[in-house]
Structure 1
Amino acid sequence: MHLNMGSAKQQTAISKVMSLLQEWDKGKKAVRQKILVDFIRQNQNKTGPELEQEFAQAASLFLTRLTAWLRLTYMVGNCLNEQLKAISVFLSASSGHKFMAEFLEVGGVLTLLEIIGLKQAKEEDKLEALKNLTYIANAGRKYKELICESYGIRAVAECLAKSKSEETQDSCRNLLLMLAQGNPKFEVQVYKGLIALLPCSSPKAQQMAAQTLRIVQPIVKAANPSIVEPLLNILKTLHLEVQFEGIELIKELMEYDVSDRLLQGLVRLLHPSKEDTIRRPDILEGAQNMILCRESNEIAEKLIQLRVTHNLLYAMGNEDYADSQRQSSISLEWLKLLIKHLKMII
């Protein structure tokens, strides 16, 4: 009796799934969109086994249809958000590695990376694609390597630089950080990708890149000399949040081989170019932002070795020089604080 009831229940479930799949195959955009919305609502946060039970052990048949339609239509954006959210139900399911493997086998990673690079794609669609990439990266090292081998670092970094949505940018930053952690084969490539973001035109992207570099730098250990110039250049920005992250990163880099080059570059900033005098950012204003001397006597001594003490003392006694310095990228108030500290240790 119980066996017959179980068998009847299974047959009903199978019939329901087959009916759904036939409806999908025959249906146009509106029909498929409704199926997706219902699927997302009913199956959010379900485990892999629960999804299989819902689809009478045939969940893969629905996933196959879903991924095929995504690959055919993502360029034109038909129900793209719903498609990506439905895919995330499968990729985020615990004990659902089978679904992830099936999605990756049909080139799912490349499709997601192409979506975040589409000019015509909406920010909310890019965000959903990034969430799916994050689910994949979170599955382990081999999945991170797959994303990187698919030129994912560049794609995610470009999305971060070009995006107008802070939520999308934050998702990009978090994904890049994930790709740098526990992924020794590609950690240096992520590091270089973050350095490449420092000169970009988006202040938010610059801030996030500098912030993330502070975490990634100890992972890669050695500091790449290519970090020096773009890092110094962001100190000229008018955006205080970018200045702050740049200053904090410079502090971190004082422990690495690039410290002398950074100090030399900071000294050069004391002598403004014509381009610098056109605008004056409120950079390094006040004692809380002093990045050279207040960190340690060792840094101050390095400055003395660079023979800048005389120039600085001269600047304080020369009003013409001081007037021009007011237009430089380094504030006069900062110079006073710097001189005061130098005098204390000479």
Structure 2
Amino acid sequence: MAKNLSSTSKVMSLLQQWDKGSKTVRAQILTDFIANNQNKTGPELEAEFAQAASLFFTRLTAWLRLTYMIGTCLKLQLQAINIFVSSSSGHKFLSEFMEVGGVLTSLEILGLKDGKDEDKAQSLQLLMGIASVGRNYKELICESYGTMAVAECLARSKSEETQDAARMLLQMLAEGNPKFQVQVYKGLIALLSSSSPKAQQMAAQTLRIVQKIVGHAIPSIVEPVISLLKSYHLEVQYEAIELIKDLMDFEVQESLLKSLVSALVPTKDEIRKQPEILDDPNVPELKRPLPVYVQQAAAAKLIGILSHESNKMCERLVQLKCVHNLMIAMGNESHADSQRQGSITLEYLVRTFPIVDENVNEAMGDNLYHMFLKNPESLYMTMNAVQADVLRSNKVNIPGIVDGLD
């Protein structure tokens, strides 16, 4: 009995300190609580507060709602709340948090204009803990416009920790949540057009997982994923290429193939347009090629990858005049990598299809054709301006079914 009275007395004293305490006093109470109660179960937390844990928890959530917009001890508050909400057998605390609008408050923290990234990362951790409880909670987050809030946080954040937490939460919201998985899928597609290379990379990476969950592709994914090939960031290009390879198993295959072939020949308007990406502070100040030339080289490379992986896709690409467009890329004296990637891919097509070999030989002429076959990868370094012009002016057109396919 004496022990119980002593425990109750300590709790009441703590609550009085909280009620009368300054911001500094409350911050110290939270710091001590976080240090001493990590990974405790719901019953253990109740024992810590003499079966009156809800009295402290209610004070926490009330202070959060009053101060989250000005950021007072926000990270500490969220960490302490997360200990309660994520505790094993602590469903009572989760219910109490939901009843006072905890999800909406957590989502609003993500959108604070002057909010700290570390606070947003902690709010995302709290939301992940809620989402992990089950489908009903994932649906509640999505119904509260959570997908948009998390996606915007990922796009705007400058912290990789915060961006990664947002990416993980979006993936969680898609998994085991059939009612809202397409909403998350569309949110990730929208992120492909973000101005943040890290957000683009993470969105493409997560889309590879969510694409399989959704089970079908929507046409609006084609344009932004092809545009990712313009990126100067190799990690973005890698994820884009891997995502496009995955999408070849879905109904957007034909649109993607046509877009890749078109990307081999930038329009005059695309070449004239001064791209915003040239002002990217994360890219070294070097003489950089136009993004459409970066895309041209990446498209040539990807066409080669796809041609190696599937005979049917290889045949279709040839039917879509990729041979003609690859030769134009090979003649692009403004971008060596376009010339190199175009030449490497064209060599594979020439050696695969006799009809392609015959047409390429005729379009190039014997001298350039033999130079090309001798060393396609370094052809751009040995040919002259007249030969480059021959490549750009070629008239290769191979319609119908291609002969020579295994």
Q: Provide TM-score, normalisation by structure 1.
A: 0.91
My pick for the range that moved more, 7-16 or 288-297, is: 288-297
C-alpha change, 1:171 and 1:285, in structure 2 (3 Å) is same
Question: How many residue pairs end up in the alignment?
Answer: 333
- Percent identical across equivalent pairs? 61
1:213 maps to what in 2? 207
**Residue among 343, 350, 374 paired with 1:343:** 350
2:338 maps to what in 1? 331
Cα separation, 2, equivalents of 1:136 and 1:160: 19
Cα separation, 2, equivalents of 1:85 and 1:328: 51
What's the CA shift string for 1:219-261, capped at 9, x where partnerless? 1111010000001111011111100100001100111110010
C-alpha change, 1:276 and 1:242, in structure 2 (3 Å) is farther
SS across alignment from 1:291: helix
Match of 2:101, as an amino acid?
G
**Residue among 55, 66, 76 paired with 1:72:** 66
Structure with bigger gyration radius: 2
RMSD: 2.0
Match of 2:52, as an amino acid?
A
SS across alignment from 2:307: coil
Match of 2:13, as an amino acid?
S
**Residue among 276, 281, 290 paired with 2:294:** 281
1:296 maps to what in 2? 310
What's the CA shift string for 1:3-32, capped at 9, x where partnerless? xxxx11111111111111111111121111
Match of 2:306, as an amino acid?
L
Match of 1:40, as an amino acid?
I
Cα separation, 1, equivalents of 2:336 and 2:205: 22
C-alpha change, 1:102 and 1:311, in structure 2 (3 Å) is closer
1:203 maps to what in 2? 197
Cα separation, 1, equivalents of 2:326 and 2:32: 70
Q: Would the aligned equivalents of 1:285 and 1:333 in 2 still touch at CA under 8 Å?
A: no
Cα separation, 1, equivalents of 2:28 and 2:229: 51
Cα separation, 1, equivalents of 2:133 and 2:145: 18
1:270 maps to what in 2? 264
Q: Would the aligned equivalents of 1:153 and 1:176 in 2 still touch at CA under 8 Å?
A: yes
Q: Would the aligned equivalents of 2:260 and 2:303 in 1 still touch at CA under 8 Å?
A: no
Q: Would the aligned equivalents of 1:269 and 1:329 in 2 still touch at CA under 8 Å?
A: no
**Residue among 31, 34, 37 paired with 1:40:** 34
What's the CA shift string for 1:266-291, capped at 9, x where partnerless? 11111113434761438539979943
**Residue among 57, 79, 82 paired with 1:85:** 79
Q: Would the aligned equivalents of 1:77 and 1:121 in 2 still touch at CA under 8 Å?
A: yes
**Residue among 104, 125, 134 paired with 1:110:** 104
* CA deviation after TM superposition for structure 1 residue 312, in Å: 3.7
Match of 2:338, as an amino acid?
S
Pairs within 5 Å for 1:105-184: 105-184=99-178
Cα separation, 1, equivalents of 2:216 and 2:162: 30
SS across alignment from 1:81: helix
What's the CA shift string for 1:79-103, capped at 9, x where partnerless? 1111111111112211111111101
Cα separation, 1, equivalents of 2:267 and 2:200: 23
C-alpha change, 1:137 and 1:326, in structure 2 (3 Å) is farther
1:244 maps to what in 2? 238
1:3 maps to what in 2? none
Q: Does 1:9 align with 2:3?
A: yes
Cα separation, 1, equivalents of 2:5 and 2:298: 72
* CA deviation after TM superposition for structure 1 residue 116, in Å: 1.0
SS across alignment from 2:308: coil
Cα separation, 1, equivalents of 2:333 and 2:131: 49
Q: Would the aligned equivalents of 1:270 and 1:330 in 2 still touch at CA under 8 Å?
A: no
Q: List alignment gaps of at least 5 residues for structure 2.
A: 273-288, 354-406
C-alpha change, 1:157 and 1:83, in structure 2 (3 Å) is same
Cα separation, 2, equivalents of 1:322 and 1:251: 23
